[in-house]
Structure 1
Amino acid sequence: MASVAFGYLPILLFLIVALGLSAAFVVLPMIVARFTGAHQPDPQKLSEYECGFPAFEDSRAQFDVRFYLIAILFIVFDLEAAFLFPWAVSLGVTKLVGWIAMMIFLAELGLGLAYAWKKGALEWE
């Protein structure tokens, strides 16, 4: 029975180290900010910068959809960058066929960017 429990010891140690490190990465920056004076909240720092509208208001209030449009475009082009690295690594294996496929993919993304730019999706007031 003890040998079975002993087999789980590495998993337990891994969990303890992971919890300790994650707690340290969350708590230590807060403590350091308090002691170094970096913790100086003001209305500009506490303003809504991710969603574009106050988080705790009437749920039926209208909000600007342009933020979500730009966020979706960011995700699309971020995924493009995520596809470029494995493609570049495997280009020696895929050769000309892989290169042509990626050029078609990049052309489609370029056309999408030109369309979004022409429609004014990247403009912000």
Structure 2
Amino acid sequence: MEFNFATALVFILLGLVFSGGVLFLSWLIRPSRPAQFKGIAYECGEQPVGSPWVKFNVRFYVVALIFVIFDVEVVLLYPWATAFKSLGLFAFVEMLVFLGLLFLGLAYVWKRGDLEWVKPDPAITGPGQRPSVPDAGAGEVTGL
């Protein structure tokens, strides 16, 4: 089957011209009313308290990245599982290699301690020692 690339190119160019034209037209006809309150953070209708620039812990990024990796694994695993009978032994071995590599990566991340939320500080604890984490008593409310 022969594919006419000129048709696809025309559609891509028309899409770019249309979207660029709409953006330019909206920039051209928009009202320009600068105001003091447009630059501040919106906090559900309340007056903002403190700075909106908050540093997030890098551990959130690591957990999110690991989640995305294993989520993509499920996305790749589902079509393979639905067509398992027709694919044969070669596809089964390939999927085992894929899963093995993912679990090796998980073991590596686990061994490095990237899955631990409270990491030991080498300056405070010696090598091989775990940090002491304060335990909240039963029914005790912490952080107030």
TM-score, normalised with respect to structure 2: 0.44
- For residue 82 of structure 1, report the CA deviation from its aligned partner: 1.7
Pick aligned residue for 2:51 from 45, 51, 57: 57
User: For structure 2, which runs of at least 5 residues remain unmatched after alignment?
Assistant: 1-49, 119-144
Distance of 1:110 and 1:64 partners within structure 2: 25
> What letter is aligned with 1:113?
L
Per the alignment, residue 108 of structure 2 pairs with 115
Identity %: 43
* Larger relative helix fraction: 1
Determine which structure has greater relative contact order: mean sequence separation of CA pairs < 8 Å that are 6+ residues apart, divided by chain length.
1
Per the alignment, residue 85 of structure 1 pairs with 78
Per the alignment, residue 4 of structure 2 pairs with none
Give secondary structure in 2 for the equivalent of 1:63: coil
Deviations 1:8-46 (A, max 9, x none): xxxxxxxxxxxxxxxxxxxxxxxxxxxxxxxxxxxxxxx
For the pair shown, the structure with the greater C-alpha radius of gyration is 2
> What letter is aligned with 1:107?
G
User: For structure 1, which runs of at least 5 residues remain unmatched after alignment?
Assistant: 1-55
Distance of 1:57 and 1:91 partners within structure 2: 54
**Superposed CA RMSD:** 2.1
